[in-house]
Amino acid sequence: MALHHSVVGLVCLLAFCLSVQGFSDRNRAQAKIKSLLEKIEDILSLVGEDTGHGDNKVLRQPATDPLYGYFSAVAGADGQIDAPELQRCLTSSGISGTYQPFSLETSRIMISMLDRDYSGKMGFNEFKELWATLNQWKTTFMQYDRDRSGTVEPHELQAALTSWGYRLSPQALNIIVKRYGVDGKIKFDDFVACAIRLRMLTDHFRRRDTSGTGHANFAYDDFIQVAMNS
């Protein structure tokens, strides 16, 4: 319990310092605080808290959550996993089903999608969020992969993206197919990579399109950060 109070106190101090210093990006500051809270929760669940009996620890494992076993098998002492560890975790979990396991590059952008503090790692709460999202995308992919070939055609990809609310021009769709397809066919791993990048780029754009006109201004460095982290 002492550990819990200590880390919560540190978060409160961080929040106060950010407000006093006039942090230039309030949304980013709030994201950092939220991410730190999630990481603290992950660490407490992995390392446990002192019971008051010497070095004995009570592990606060979410024993009823089957995902915890996959995550804890690869997580480090800090309760976080990086891209190679995430790749191993997802492969061992079998979430890809009969489809090809996720590549290291796709695992990297999975972490980027939820990496609110730009640490390059993912905690258990973020992992659970990712798991739910991947299952949704897998369900959509299977709806269009009717012959279970492990791929979807360009028109099926367009239908899937439209069902998610994206309205892309034929030119944009053509670029996506060339980027993620092989001979005009898109595998599940590439389908997920495409979904992640579209989600991230759309989120970045909407935050800057404050008037909702479909137009946004990007400073050069801002554009580079968005493009390289998506």
Domains of the chain, with CATH numbers? 63-228 (1.10.238.10)
Axis crossing angle, helix 170-180 with helix 154-163, rounded to the nearest 10 = 110
pLDDT winner (highest mean) among 6-10, 20-24, 102-106: 102-106
CB atoms within 10 A of CB 147: 6
Average pLDDT over residues 48-53: 40
Q: How many CB atoms lie within 10 A of CB 10?
A: 12
Please give the share of the chain, as a percent, with pLDDT higher than 90: 61
pLDDT in tens, 141-152: 999 998 888 999
Out of 35-44, 77-86, 129-138, 147-156, pick the least confident: 35-44
Q: Is the pTM of this model over 0.75?
A: no
- How confident is residue 65, by pLDDT bands cut at 50, 70 and 90? confident
pLDDT band at 97 (very low <50, low <70, confident <90, very high): confident
Quick one: what percent of the chain has pLDDT higher than 70? 73
Give the mean pLDDT of 117-130: 93
- 132 Cβ partners below 8 Å, 6+ apart? none
Phi-psi map region of 214: left, alpha, beta (phi>0 left; psi -120 to 50 alpha): left
Question: Between 105 and 43, whose confidence is greater?
Answer: 105
